[in-house]
Amino acid sequence: MTIVPELRETLPIAVCTAGAERLAQARQATAANPLMQQPFDQPLRGKRVLIVEDEPLLFMDMESSLMEAGCEVVGPVGTLCKAKQLIAGTECDAALLDVNLAGESIDEVAVALTQRNIPFAFVTGYEREALPQAFQETLILGKPFSRDQLRSAVQALLDRAADPRSAKTGSSLARAQQAD
């Protein structure tokens, strides 16, 4: 694929602008749609979800998808430092963590969430073996994923938090994704 030199510098701006416009549309739709006010239509309505992801287009898509489902998004943040600050000072019901933030492992963030009893899933294109050793049984949302898979992962985290004896694991989530 050849990119015209004049477009090379404007292409990322155009792509980011489209993502920002989509996010703004999701916010407007959430505020304007009376169905969004119905808790039985929106099982995720009002749930606070932390997004730790360093890829702007991906976190914008995740944010808009969760907002459309009625969630309140905490963040998104793309660094370990900002993630730890948010976890320490903000309440959330669940978290979605990219395994690799600009080459840094997410271990410290996973430990902080565990200490606060906040359920989380790893969002990754890596295999389970790439996860921090202590978190091999954590839910995994494999990249790429659909909006429904994202929402299902958040619902699984919330279900797990409501019932700590739940046997849901990352591998069962992966099997559910393959069935979609």
Task: Give the pair of three-digit tokens for residue 18.
Answer: 């489209």
Per-residue confidence (pLDDT) for residue 89, from 0 to 100: 93
How far is it, in rounded angstroms, from Cα 111 to Cα 42? 30
How far is it, in rounded angstroms, from Cα 177 to Cα 140? 10
Structure confidence by residue, pLDDT tens digits, 132-145: 888 988 999 999 99
Task: Give the pair of three-digit tokens for residue 101.
Answer: 């933030």
How far is it, in rounded angstroms, from Cα 84 to Cα 109? 6
Q: Flag whether pLDDT at 25 surpasses 70.
A: no
Q: Flag whether pLDDT at 38 surpasses 50.
A: no
Pick the closest to residue 52 from 105, 127, 129 (CA basis): 105
Q: Which CATH number fits domain 5-179: 3.50.30.30, 3.40.1410.10, 3.40.50.2020, 3.40.50.2300?
A: 3.40.50.2300
Q: What is the pTM of this model?
A: 0.71
Structure confidence by residue, pLDDT tens digits, 50-64: 999 999 999 999 999
Task: Give the pair of three-digit tokens for residue 143.
Answer: 């990249």
Pick the closest to residue 97 from 131, 52, 49, 134 (CA basis): 52
Task: Give the pair of three-digit tokens for residue 37.
Answer: 């006010």
Residue ranges per domain, the chain?
5-179
Structure confidence by residue, pLDDT tens digits, 69-124: 999 999 999 999 999 999 999 999 999 999 989 888 899 999 999 999 999 999 99
Per-residue confidence (pLDDT) for residue 168, from 0 to 100: 39
Q: How far is CA 55 from the centre of its chain?
A: 11
Q: Flag whether pLDDT at 129 surpasses 70.
A: yes
3-state helix, strand, coil in the chain (%, to 5): 50, 15, 30
Share of the chain above pLDDT 70, in %: 68
